[in-house]
Chains A and B, each alone.
Chain A
Amino acid sequence: MRRADRPAGGLPWYGYAALCLLTAATLCLCVSLGSVAVPFGDTAAAIWKAVWGLELPQGMSRTIILNVRLPRVLATALCGASLALCGAAMQGLLRNPLADGSTLGVSAGASLGAVTALLLEISFPGLPFAGTMITAMLFALGSLILILSLSYAADRGMSTQTIILMGVVLSMFVTSIISLLTAFSGDKLRSITFWTMGSLSGAGYTETLVLLGALAVFGGVLLSRADELNAFSLGEDAARHMGVAVRPVKLTVLVCVAALIGVCVSVGGSIGFVGLIVPHAARLFTGANHRRVLPLSLFMGAVFLMLADLLARTVVSPIELPIGVVTSLVGAVAFVVIFFRRRRPC
């Protein structure tokens, strides 16, 4: 069978090439800048050699680039890509431009898991580094099961409105439990507070690999559901008329979003606004078609969060701001600008 002869399809190859270049350039920039600046060219060369397994000169630059900054920036990029992709998918699925990963309540569930792990110092045999991560993912999955069960009990058709309502209610409930736990956290208050505002300072190659695996699996599934998300954007009945198996597709998207959000929250804490703002910005460039919105959100999310992280660790150096604070500050302003641009008459 001959290949795609589809009208109104995805991004052209040169679009992907430009996005890859932009992401790589931003990555090199973010690795090169910091309390100790390394020239951009040296950084790019070091990363290039490391990728191809070539000999690298020993020294402080090598340690800073490969052992300290690169894993953190890579984890940040993957987190940003995942959160933005989840936001774009949720906005399409729920036909609601204010939806993102946190709408489901999964983000709050993962946060509760991580806070519980920090408080109780939970660790798993053989995986001592991954106590917070695994607990957060388990709680994220538990939240999703709870939301879907409650939605099904309230409405057998599991309409998107019911799911949104349950997600919002559960989010508020879980957030109040987190506040309660934080109030009784004693000497762990600072680490919990810092974590709930988002931080990727501790991210290493292990976290990067987990994020990459999650993005490859769950993100791949989300990217493959672009046509279904287009159909959902016209309403559930319209999607059904087009031949979309509404309930299985909805469940697939929700599970993938929950898994990705769970992994991201477990690594970087609560990072707001990425899933909300980036898909809106992507639509300004490409229009509403999810065949373009999803991949563009993925790349733009990576670039946005890398730059936000760069700001967080350099703007009042040596003090490091929580990344969630930076994304919320920048995101809120950007959201208002985009909102007014879209409302401006032709």
Chain B
Amino acid sequence: MLEAKRLTVAYEGGDAVRDVSFSAEAGEWLMLIGPNGAGKSTLLAALAQCAPYQGTVLLDARDARRWRPRAFARAVGVLAQTHAAGYAFTVEELVSMGRYAHTHGFFRSQDPNGREAVRRALDMAGLWELRLRNMRTLSGGELQRAYLAQALAQEPRVLLLDEPANHLDLVYQKQLFELIGRWMRDGDRCVISVVHDLSLALRYGTRVLLLDRGCLTADGPARDTLASDALRRAYGMDVADWMAQTAERWREVAGGKSHGSGQGSRAC
């Protein structure tokens, strides 16, 4: 579906991404992990054709540079890490913008499936009730879901997500990742996402790719990559051990909760 061949992204002062090759097939959710500055977001930007690169990105076995922007957008949707809207659109307007690649005519007014696609995306993201709300009045989680709904309204087959759980609390993280999982399983689709939280990578990723100083140092099923020595080298610590210790503490917390002590909690 989407393939990177010997991808290198050069920035001033060196390569942010160096000679990276991998492919993503339908039904796969690839998690890009790595420490800060490893080149994860840069790699995603190159895949999205937003950063100049050397090497090749193939979409359906055809060079991505040869795709027209609108045709590429019909196949690949992107959810950025940060958003900087200049003006306050309504949620419905924001999501409708995802239909741009499907519109026709001089005034781009023809899009036979537009209304239905926007309704579906709003429903899926749980935003139907909020569709007339000003986007500036949304919480961080609602806004992130609105941008995701925009990408879903685009009806892509590949979804690129740059730290989608950024700034979201646990509830929103769970909602967002389960929503993306449902969307992926609903057709011949694949997802590539940058994540910092390795628990999310383990829980939702079908494959995990580890980037270390721009190089792809591990690529395989989540359990294999997260147990690899490469992960320890990249982070400079025994990540699996630390996560296991944390999980043990959580088990204790859950056990305490089942005994029903309830001390320290107050009603709001």
Contacts and interface: CB of A to CB of B under 8 A. Distances in A.
B72 interface: yes
B100 A244 contact: yes
A126 interface: no
Interface string B84-115: 11111110111011111101101111111111
A230 B108 CA distance: 12
B87 A288 contact: yes
B107 A7 contact: no
Contacts of B148: none
Given A7-B92, A241-B78, A289-B93, 17 more contacts: A1-B104, A1-B110, A5-B113, A5-B115, A6-B114, A92-B86, A223-B107, A226-B108, A227-B100, A233-B85, A234-B94, A235-B85, A240-B69, A241-B50, A242-B97, A243-B70, A243-B74
Interface string A214-235: 0000000001101110110111
A178 to B, nearest CB: 31
Nearest to A5: B115
Chain B contact-residue range equals 35 or more
A92 to B, nearest CB: 8
Contacts of A233: 85-87, 89
Interface in B28-57: 45, 48-50
A76 B131 CA distance: 40
A224 B114 CA distance: 18
A344 interface: no
Contact of B89 (A235, A237, A240, A289): A289
Given A227-B103, A242-B101, A4 B73 contact: no
B80 A241 contact: yes
A245 B86 CA distance: 19
29 contacts: A5-B112, A5-B113, A6-B99, A6-B115, A7-B92, A7-B96, A8-B96, A97-B86, A97-B87, A226-B107, A227-B97, A227-B103, A227-B108, A233-B85, A233-B87, A234-B83, A234-B84, A234-B85, A235-B84, A241-B73, A241-B77, A241-B151, A243-B74, A245-B68, A283-B87, A287-B88, A287-B89, A287-B90, A287-B93
Given A1-B104, A223-B107, A240-B49, A7 B114 contact: yes
A230 B87 CA distance: 9
Nearest to A227: B108
Given A230-B93, A233-B85, A233-B86, A242 B111 contact: no
A199 B93 CA distance: 40
- If over half of A's interface residues share one DSSP class (helix, strand or loop), that class is named, otherwise mixed; here it is loop
Contacts, number: 121
B154 interface: yes
A6 B50 contact: no
B118 interface: yes
B92 A4 contact: no
B69 A244 contact: yes
Contacts of B89: 230, 233, 287-289
Contact of A243 (B50, B101, B109, B115): B101
Contacts of A289: 89, 93
A224 B84 contact: no
Nearest to A221: B106
Contacts of B154: 242-243
Nearest to B103: A227
Nearest to B87: A288
A5 B111 contact: yes
A96 B106 contact: no
A224 B69 contact: no
Given A242-B97, A243-B101, A234 B86 contact: yes
